[in-house]
Amino acid sequence: MKNKTKKYFIKYSLEFFVIVLGITFSFFLQNVRQEKELDSKRQLIISNLLDELESNQNYITKRKSEFVREMDYVNKLLNDSLTFKMFEEYPKESSPLNPFFSVLRFEPSSSTYNSLVNDGSLNLIKSSEVKTLINEVYKSKINYLNYFVDAEYKAAIEVERIFINNYPEIYLRNFWFNYSDKKLINNVFQIMKKDIHFKALMVQKISFMEVKIGALNSYAKQRDSLITLLKKKKLIF
C-alpha cells in the first residue's frame, strides 16, 4: 500500500512538475516574443526620429544663414555702412525691411516627435540618456531660442510703432508689402538711418538676435549628438 501511494505521489508530482514547467516555458516564450515586438517598435521609433532629425538639415542651414544675414543688416545700419544698393540685392521673395520690422522664428519639423508623445510610444525608449537628449533637442533648446525670438518680436513691434506715430504718411503707403516701389523703400531707409529712437530699438533688437544665433548653434550641436546617439542605439536592437 505504501509503495502504491508512493508510486502515485511520484507520478502526480512529475505530472504537476511537467505542467508547471510547460506553463513557465510558455510564459517565457511569450515574454521573449513581446520583448522582440517591443524591440521592433523601439527600432521603428528610433528610425522615424532619425529621419525627422536628418530631414531638418536643410532648414537649419537655411535658418542659420538667414539669422546671420538679418543681424548683419542691422549691424551695418548701426555702423552707417548699410547702403541702398544692399537693399536692392536682398532676396527678391521678401522685403529688404525684414531684418528691422520682422522676426524669423525657428520651427523645425517635429510631427514625428509630437505623435510619439501623444500616443505614449516615446516611453518605450529605455535609455534615460536618450530621453533626456530628445527632450533637450525637441523642447528645451527650441523653447529657449524662441524665447529670444519673442523678445525680438516685441522690439520689432515698437519699431513699427515709431513709423505709425511719427511717419504716418509713409506707413499709410503700405511700405511693408509694397517693396517693389524703390522710391518708397528708399524713403523708409533714409528715415531708418536718421531716426535715433529707431536705432536705439535696433540696438535692443540686435542683442536678442545675437543670443538667438548662439542658441541655434547650441541646438545644432545637441541635435548632432542626438543623431549620433540614436544611430548607436539602433545598432543594439
In the chain (237 residues long), the average pLDDT of successive 10-residue segments reads: 56 58 57 66 90 96 96 96 92 90 94 91 87 94 96 95 95 87 93 96 96 97 95 66
Give dist(CA 16, CA 153) in Å, integer. 75
pLDDT at 114: 94
pLDDT at 33: 65
Q: Are 114 and 205 in contact (CB under 8 A)?
A: no
pLDDT at 41: 84
Give dist(CA 12, CA 15) in Å, integer. 5
Q: Are 101 and 16 in contact (CB under 8 A)?
A: no
pLDDT at 18: 57
- Given the C-alpha cell 521678401, which residue does it identify? 94
pLDDT at 183: 92
